[in-house]
Amino acid sequence: MTDGARPATPAGTTTRDAATHCPYCALQCAMTLRQRGQRVEVLPRQFPTNLGGLCQKGWTAAELLDHPERLTTPLLRDTDGQLRPADWDAALDRVAEGIRDVADRHGRDAVAVFGGGGLTNEKAYALGKFARVALGTRHIDYNGRWCMSSAAAAGLRAFGVDRGLPFPVADLGRAQTVLMVGANPAETMPPLMRHLTEQRRRGGRLIVVDPRLTATARQADLHLQPLPGTDLAMANALLHIALTEGLLDRAYVAERTTGFDEVRRTVAGYWPAEVERLSGVPVADLEATVRALAGVDRAVIVTARGAEQHAKGVDTVTAYINLALALGLPGRPGSGYGCLTGQGNGQGGREHGQKADQLPGYRRIDDPVARAHVAGVWGVDPDSLPGPGVPAYQLLDSLGTATGPKAMLVFGSNPVVSAPRAARITSRLRDLDLLVVADFVRSETAELADVVLPVAQWAEEDGTMTNLEGRVLRRRALREPPPGVRTDLDILATLATRLQGRAPSYRFPDSRGPRQTGFPTEPREWFEELRRASAGGPADYAGVSWERIEADTGVFWPCPDPDGPDSPRLFADGFPTPDGRARFRAVTHRPAAEPVCAEYPLHFTTGRVLAQYQSGAQTRRVEALRRAAPGGFVELHPDLADRLGVTEGQPVRVVSRRGELCAPARLSPTIRPDTVFAPFHWPGAARANSVTNDALDPVSGMPEFKICAVRLEPA
């Protein structure tokens, strides 16, 4: 109903509300869930991030709770190869026996865990502990490795800390200039555009860097449209211009940074005219961008997946951080550099232990002091903790091989659709002796599993999430899970009990006395342990209590003291580095891992569309979203279509060295003629990741999703 009227509630019908947050992106828009009888509706809620707004995905999120395809019983694969319903004891026995068998034959590292950036903080923390204590394996990573890992690595080496936005998102609305590189929030997190609308209303300038004229770029004052893979060269050229025009904040550079001299020498060679020939972006636009950033008091530079999902993603982000530091932006009121985190808990999900190289609190797993602290909280010998594992793609690509894991447990991810070189990863998953998938529907990955475990959805469990600003939020349950459905925490606790005889001896203290397993089922118990485990680490949650979150609009980490302030803005008084200074790092442009050639003459890039999300396992099952975006497509320039004899809507095939996708052509004069684009939400013939390149960033392990060489032909 568009006039705000609500249908009358039948007499005697119970109404229940839960103030919570959207299950999709990292903006974590505030909403209220209202249950009237059996019907659940979504109401927008005023909050500093979404300002009372929701996108179409948020409005329809409750439709998944009672979806007819929802799983309510475990599934086991029979000897005839079919997934059939089973009871929980049979399913969990199969999992525990399979883990024991694989570990006995091949060692503990033969069992792996793969998590997700949508899991709550408590589940991400529990998953990391489960892998390292109950399983004793080093092999754990998560799909967030493909989201923010390049920006995280760049932020760590420049600032000493990784927090997507080191300032509240509301600062975007007050900035006089915003430069967005590879970000399209108008489609990926639409309520954020309210802040950019406010920025424009105040007379600010929005500059967008993107090879496509996206919905965000259409609202920009200036759109820079580079060749995919040339963002790093552009950033160095921008800093070159700032140097030659005397636009640097020299006092800031001298007092608050180190390493600038080497950067100065490096960018001296990035003449704007040369970069124009490389990227296709006019020198005049590069100059206008630098002057818009340097000529105001409040300026913000933001990067996202378009700049980061490259085999040189860490260096590309570093180049934009160098520009921000040279202009004196980080720590200046109303200014800074930040990254738009993608997945719902992409920030918190990487802070507390499901990354291959990290322990809770963003501690390094190879740091003896960090190991001792976390082992003390867990009640284990530090020497019993495994060492670092390998990043997500290497982990998946090793499955079933002579030296790789033979069993894997997947929570909150769908790599059959989301992994690069997806056909190869699908084959690797098939090679496993045991694949266990916890999900609420039969995702494409679940269809390959030996055991599928039905789990609760976001509206059926409490917990905390950490949004793109580092703001810790409360997720509140509206109702209990359906009969036959368990929470992820319950599954982990039950498996830990079944595996106890195979794990090191440890005890878990809580308010009700010691536990033998150390794996409670209540989210709040996990959160209290997470606070202790994170205490003193870079991502310190020790002072973040549930009561404190309830009393305010979330709490920003780091927050070490329950009675002290939190940290909505970082770097005002220094950086968390050994000398308190931010670190410049010289970086140089290098070509894409796979250059175009006569056989594969076009650049291929991927991204999202407004009505779908990630691998689409959720959004493709919502009728309104399916109508809005019913299937994949291939976007190409009309000139390219004319050369190939392709018409609007005609099926076309995009072919790379790794595979192909087939989808209808969508002609657009706003994309570069040398580039084709496809969204990555669909499986099957339209699966974009059948084509993408698995070349990896050497620092972050990020695959090169955003560019590879392809040819296009009518299908």
- Kind and range of the H or E element at 434? strand 434-439
What is the pLDDT averaged over residues 222-226?
Answer: 97
> Where residue 518 falls among pLDDT bands split at 50, 70, 90?
confident
Reported confidence tier of residue 500, pLDDT bands at 50, 70, 90: confident
Residue 498, pLDDT score: 92
What average pLDDT does the chain have?
A: 94
Contact 459, 479 (CB under 8 A): yes
Q: Mean pLDDT across the stretch 364-380?
A: 96
> What is the CATH code of the structural domain delimited by 75-139+357-556?
3.40.50.740
CATH of segment(s) 149-340: 3.40.228.10
Domain ranges of the chain: 15-64, 75-139+357-556, 149-340, 602-714
Model confidence at 508, pLDDT cuts 50, 70, 90, reads very low
> pLDDT tier at 678 (50, 70, 90 boundaries)?
very high
Question: Hey, CA dihedral for 185, 190, 194, 195, is it positive or negative?
Answer: negative
Q: Is pLDDT of 150 > 70?
A: yes
* Other beta carbons less than 10 A from residue 442's beta carbon: 18
pTM: 0.94
Residues 252-268 have pLDDT tens digits of 999 999 999 999 999 99
Q: Which amino acid is at 356?
A: A
pLDDT at 8: 43
Residue 4, pLDDT > 80, answer no
* pLDDT for residue 18: 96
Q: Is the pLDDT of residue 9 over 50?
A: no
Residue identified by tokens 């525990």 is 96
Could you tell me the two tokens for 70?
């929802």
In this predicted structure, the answer to whether residue 475 has a pLDDT above a threshold of 60 is: yes
* Alpha-carbon span 234 to 275, nearest angstrom: 6
Task: Please report which confidence band the pLDDT of residue 12 belongs to, taking 50, 70 and 90 as the band edges.
Answer: low
More confident residue, 441 or 511: 441
Residues 6+ away with beta carbon under 8 Å from 509: 379, 515
What sign does the dihedral 276-281-285-287 (CA atoms) show? negative
pLDDT for residue 184 is more than 80: yes
Give the residue-averaged pLDDT of 102-125.
97
Q: What is the DSSP letter of 560?
A: -
Question: Is 510's pLDDT higher than 90?
Answer: no
Mean pLDDT of 218-244: 97
Taking the C-alpha atoms of residue 646 and residue 290, their distance in angstroms, rounded to an integer, is: 40
Q: Which of 610, 472, 442, 462 is nearest to 59 (CA)?
A: 610
Structure confidence at residue 501 as a pLDDT band (50, 70, 90): low
15-64 and 75-139+357-556 agree in CATH topology: no
How much is the average pLDDT of 450-469? 97
Which CATH code fits 15-64? 2.20.25.90
Dihedrals phi, psi of 278, to nearest 5 degrees: -75, -45
- Specify the CATH number for 602-714; select among 3.50.50.60, 2.40.40.20, 3.40.50.150, 3.40.50.11710: 2.40.40.20
